[in-house]
A and B are shown apart, each in its own frame.
Chain A
């Protein structure tokens, strides 16, 4: 069976500091895989390596069996690997229509289209409308992103990633900073992601991790500590030691 996403012996070093050590991660097709670890474990570096922002010093990254280690950031997106951002990196001046439109236009190969005004392609418009509806953004579709409620912005974040029709989606702390009242919408959106999209969730929130993931990898000091089912991880003594009983048993 080919895996959706696989890393083989990934290494990254900043100066003398080894931030990723011999990381071999295997994410199965359709999995709900979570990557957890205490602060400073190197989770962000792993995302940057997977998405191509950073180049690994050693090791390989495979997306559905294809080596993407040397691909550009946008090249990986077009191959089917998208991500969401932990802190807000949306475009404050653009509306949800425009933001989602960007992703849809690029995926359909219309992003370089310089002669047709935005909104004149019905295939692009249809996909924008679908994504707006799916993530409850239709009512605010023509408002600048900066004016949206924070929960809506988090939904837009996920909507943009999904608009690229990824086969593997990296979710970087999707519920971080969302007020309790809007949390439900985010969790529902995450839970209702299509099953054929493989999800790698990078998260601090243990409730979310244990309710969502069917497999968990624990990263400590840039190396894999434990990998297993939620039950196995919750029972693991080393994990408990790392988190000092920080509600690991969810």
Chain B
């Protein structure tokens, strides 16, 4: 008979760090020193990665589709902008948290609408909420600056120590550290009993309820958590670009996020991060070689991904790293997509 400690050891093994994960984060940090002229786009990728991580929490783990995730990004962005502009909270880290919490409140309130119904209903409801907020931001232009957005935001130094510089160096490291910390929390959450119950709900909600899982309560909880993450991503956007305009709520922003996860894959946390890197690089690459038609090529890449199947592409791309990892540890690489996601 297996003892309690055997069971514990095996259960915990799923949550242990794989060397490829450590390599991933070392690489991300190394980029900060290797490409000093590219801070702006790298910060953009980090923000997008965090935003995609947020969507992955609800889509990849709980199976909630959303076409309006920019709602929370926008709340975070405007909150951070207003806090800085009116000098309410000038210290960026504290302001970041407050902006994230503002998005959390909206996330919690709207979660009751979102958990009702099936996928199509959810797409429409989330889309509607984002459009609604965008319209409200436009209507109350005396607060939000309307179509001009918030102007003249000046950021105080991070923790009173690190001044935002013109090259975006502080901004990049600040964003990367925030991403890493939030990633650590997300990683813990998905390996907890709570995270396991989310996977069960995604797979078969009826069965999950029959096991005793309070399905709606769990969905509300994860949706609220994801809105915090999205709010932080939005606040980072404002803090590192010193801009907040109506397009933080835009449909394109929500839709791009879906594309990022289509590229990177869902349900293993790194999908959003890898997807963000690939998506922005593709955008850069195509807009350099064909400034007018880059969207066509991005579209083509997406069609290929969907038709060929992400799992197959990943197997090809990861052929060599997987082989090395097998030689080293006799285990499967952590950055592999479950077959069912294809």
Selected from A101, A138, A141, the residue in CB contact (under 8 A) with B193 is A101
Q: Inside 8 A of A120's CB, which chain B residues have their CB?
A: 8, 12
Residue-by-residue, is A100-112 near B (CB-CB < 8 Å gives 1, otherwise 0)? 0111011100111
B206 CB-CB contact with A under 8 Å: yes
- Contact status B207-A89, CB under 8 Å: yes
Please tell me if A118 contacts chain B, counting CB pairs below 8 Å.
Answer: yes
Chain B residue, CB-CB nearest to A98: B196
Q: Does A97 contact B (CB under 8 A)?
A: yes
Q: Are A129 and B7 in contact (CB under 8 A)?
A: yes
Complex Cα gap A92–B338 (Å): 12
Contact between B221 and A112, CB atoms less than 8 A apart: yes
| Distance in angstroms between the alpha carbons of A89 and B197 in the assembled complex | 15
> Which residues of B from 16 to 62 have beta carbons under 8 Å from A?
none
Closest to B5 in A: A125
* Residues of B contacting A: mostly: helix
Residues of B within 8 A of A188 (CB): none
- Cβ contacts under 8 Å, A126 to chain B: 4, 7
Binds A, one of B128-136, B211-219, B309-317: B211-219
A14 interface residue per 8 A CB criterion: no
- Of chain A, the residue at the smallest CB distance from B225 is A114
In the complex, the answer to whether A111 meets B2 with C-beta atoms within 8 Å is no
Q: Establish whether residues B211 and A115, one from each chain, have CB atoms under 8 Å apart when the complex forms.
A: no
> Does B189 lie within 8 Å of A114, measured CB to CB?
yes
B211 & A102 in contact (Cβ 8 Å cutoff): yes
A74 touches B2 (CB 8 A): no
In angstroms, Cα B13 to Cα A115, docked, is: 16
Q: Which residue from chain B places its CB closest to the CB of A106 in the assembled complex? A: B212
Given contacts A94-B200, A122-B4, A133-B1, contact A77 B210 (CB under 8 A): yes
- Given A89-B207, A119-B9, A164-B211, the answer on whether A114 and B192 have CB atoms closer than 8 Å is yes
Q: How many residues of B contact A (CB 8 A)?
A: 43
Q: Pick from B9, B11, B195, B213: contact of A74, CB below 8 A.
A: B213
A123-173: which have CB < 8 Å to B? 124-126, 128-129, 132-133, 138, 141-142, 160, 164
Is B3 part of the contact surface with A, judged by Cβ < 8 Å?
Answer: yes
CB neighbours of A73 from chain B (8 A): 206, 209-210
Contact (A111, B7) CB under 8 Å given A74-B209, A91-B204, A106-B211: no
The answer, among A51, A74, A116, A138, for a CB contact under 8 Å with B1, is A138
In the complex, whether B142 has a CB less than 8 A from a CB of chain A is no
B320 to chain A: which residues have CB within 8 Å? none
A114-B195, A133-B2, A141-B7 are known; give 9 further A-B pairs, CB within 8 A.
A85-B207, A89-B207, A90-B207, A91-B199, A106-B212, A111-B212, A114-B188, A129-B4, A132-B1
Mark A residues whose CB is within 8 Å of B. Answer: 51, 53, 72-74, 77-78, 82-83, 85, 89-94, 97-98, 101-103, 105-107, 110-120, 122, 124-126, 128-129, 132-133, 138, 141-142, 160, 164
- Closest 10 pairs between A and B when the two form their complex, measured CB to CB: A119-B11, A106-B212, A114-B194, A77-B212, A73-B209, A119-B12, A125-B4, A126-B4, A105-B193, A133-B1
Q: Which residues of B contact A (CB under 8 A)?
A: 1-15, 188-189, 191-197, 199-200, 203-204, 206-215, 217-218, 221, 338, 340
